[in-house]
């Protein structure tokens, strides 16, 4: 099926003249900077002293050093990378670029990450829900293909999926990519914990593929708010046209640049988390208050329990906070547990063992 980005881009975005910032116009590092109405003296803090952080200056609007470093890790040129204030920003930009409020629709596959629906609602974009299959939380491919019509602009697929933890079969994703003229957004926030690979190499084969990743999970940087979208240059150019000029602040850029040098540390954490996930899954399955432990490719486990609300409250009273997902469709009785350190997981297990039904 022929894909043409211009067919799904909103007219107002097509004709938009983007904001041109002072730092877009002059990119040199040396000079007397009298172009951006900044304070020439400095910032009244010594917090980052010695770190070459000119906090009185606006940061690089295109985050080129950071994209370059991330691109080397991901095997992608900077032109195929958008960085956002968390991947939540990338999700919001997708709606604003491609969905006409009050007219267009997106397909989501619940139970899944809640921001797709919230972002759709904020942007007054219709939502068509095609639930995952009941037994194994896979895509209901037949009904997804049936649900597509002229107003469908985006299909969100979370893989590994939050809150269920499982991966979605490539065959199904491929079928959608090949039969849909809009964008297929694969959210890979938890990909580092999965046994299968990212779909990044498929960007070369599918011009309608957008992949979301984040530094908030395996990279341990949820606090600095950096997420990424990977896609064709044509799609990334649209993201760049819409984003606020300085969407990633100087401190976050600097910290991320430093953190990306520590891939070995992150890989060790991933190994440890995966080991703990597998151990915790086995241990949780032994508890009679837990009736099912769902297989996980992420850094959390979904479990079905005999009484989710009561167990959730009991844990919270013991200062152990998990996520109650029992009100989510297809997750009745379910709790989502993030994998902590070995000690934290032990505390969880001990506390659960003492639960009186």
227 binds ligand PMP, rule: CB under 6 A? yes
User: By the 8 A CB rule, do 295 and 306 touch?
Assistant: no
Nearer to ligand PMP, 254 or 336 (CB): 336
From 46-54, 127-135, 214-222, 305-313, span contacting ligand PMP (CB under 6 A)? 214-222
From 31-39, 55-63, 86-94, 145-153, span contacting ligand PMP (CB under 6 A)? 86-94
Which residues contact residue 161 at a Cβ distance below 8 angstroms, ignoring those fewer than 6 apart?
111, 112, 113, 132, 137, 167, 168, 298
158 binds ligand PMP, rule: CB under 6 A? yes
**Closest by CA position to 94, among listed 80, 109, 84, 79:** 84
Give, as one character, the DSSP assignment of residue 35: S
Q: Distance (Å, rounded) from C-alpha 263 to C-alpha 281?
A: 27
Q: Distance (Å, rounded) from C-alpha 145 to C-alpha 141?
A: 6
Q: Which of residues 92, 104, 187, 276 is near ligand PMP by CB under 6 A?
A: 187
Q: Which of residues 78, 216, 232, 247 is near ligand PMP by CB under 6 A?
A: 216
From 85-93, 200-208, 281-289, 306-314, span contacting ligand PMP (CB under 6 A)? 85-93
- Residue 167: helix, strand or coil by DSSP? coil
Beta bridge partners of 293: 303
**Closest by CA position to 203, among listed 220, 184, 226:** 184
Please, what is the minimum distance in Å from the beta carbon of residue 82 to ligand PMP? 12
- Residue 312: helix, strand or coil by DSSP? helix
Q: Which of residues 78, 162, 252, 345 is near ligand PMP by CB under 6 A?
A: 162
- Residue 300: helix, strand or coil by DSSP? strand
86 binds ligand PMP, rule: CB under 6 A? yes
Q: Which of residues 73, 146, 204, 222 is near ligand PMP by CB under 6 A?
A: 222
Q: Which of residues 63, 78, 80, 87 is near ligand PMP by CB under 6 A?
A: 87
Q: Distance (Å, rounded) from C-alpha 39 to C-alpha 62?
A: 22
148 binds ligand PMP, rule: CB under 6 A? no
From 36-44, 59-67, 81-89, 197-205, span contacting ligand PMP (CB under 6 A)? 81-89
């Amino acid at each position: 099926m022929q894909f043409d980005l211009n067919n799904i881009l909103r007219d107002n975005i097509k004709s938009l003249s983007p904001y041109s910032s002072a730092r877009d116009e002059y990119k040199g590092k040396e000079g007397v900077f009298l172009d951006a109405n900044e304070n020439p003296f400095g910032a009244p803090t010594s917090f980052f002293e010695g770190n070459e952080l000119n906090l009185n200056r606006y940061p690089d609007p295109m985050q080129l050093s950071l994209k370059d470093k991330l691109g080397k890790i991901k095997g992608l040129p900077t032109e195929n990378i958008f960085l956002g204030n968390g991947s939540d920003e990338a999700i919001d930009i997708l709606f604003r670029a491609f969905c006409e409020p009050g007219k267009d629709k997106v397909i989501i596959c619940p139970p899944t990450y809640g921001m797709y629906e919230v972002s759709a609602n904020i942007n007054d974009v219709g939502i068509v829900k095609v639930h995952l299959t009941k037994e194994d939380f896979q895509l209901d491919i037949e009904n997804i293909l049936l649900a597509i019509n002229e107003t469908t602009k985006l299909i969100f697929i979370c893989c590994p999926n939050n809150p269920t933890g499982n991966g979605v079969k490539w065959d199904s994703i491929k079928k959608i990519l090949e039969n849909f003229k809009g964008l297929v957004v694969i959210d890979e926030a938890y990909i580092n914990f999965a046994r299968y690979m990212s779909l990044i190499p498929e960007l070369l084969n599918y011009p309608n593929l957008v992949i979301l990743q984040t530094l908030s999970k395996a990279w341990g940087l949820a606090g600095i708010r950096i997420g990424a979208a990977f896609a064709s240059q044509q799609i990334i150019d649209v993201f760049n046209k819409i984003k606020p000029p300085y969407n990633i602040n100087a401190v976050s850029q600097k910290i991320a640049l430093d953190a990306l040098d520590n891939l070995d540390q992150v890989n060790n954490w991933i190994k440890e988390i995966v080991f703990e996930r597998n151990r915790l899954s086995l241990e949780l399955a032994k508890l009679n208050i837990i009736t099912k432990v769902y297989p996980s490719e992420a850094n959390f486990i979904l479990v079905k329990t005999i009484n989710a609300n009561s167990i959730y409250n009991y844990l919270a009273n013991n200062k152990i906070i998990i996520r109650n997902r029992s009100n989510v469709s297809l997750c009745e009785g379910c709790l989502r547990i993030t994998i902590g350190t070995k000690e934290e997981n032990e505390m969880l297990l001990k506390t659960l063992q003492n639960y009186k039904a």
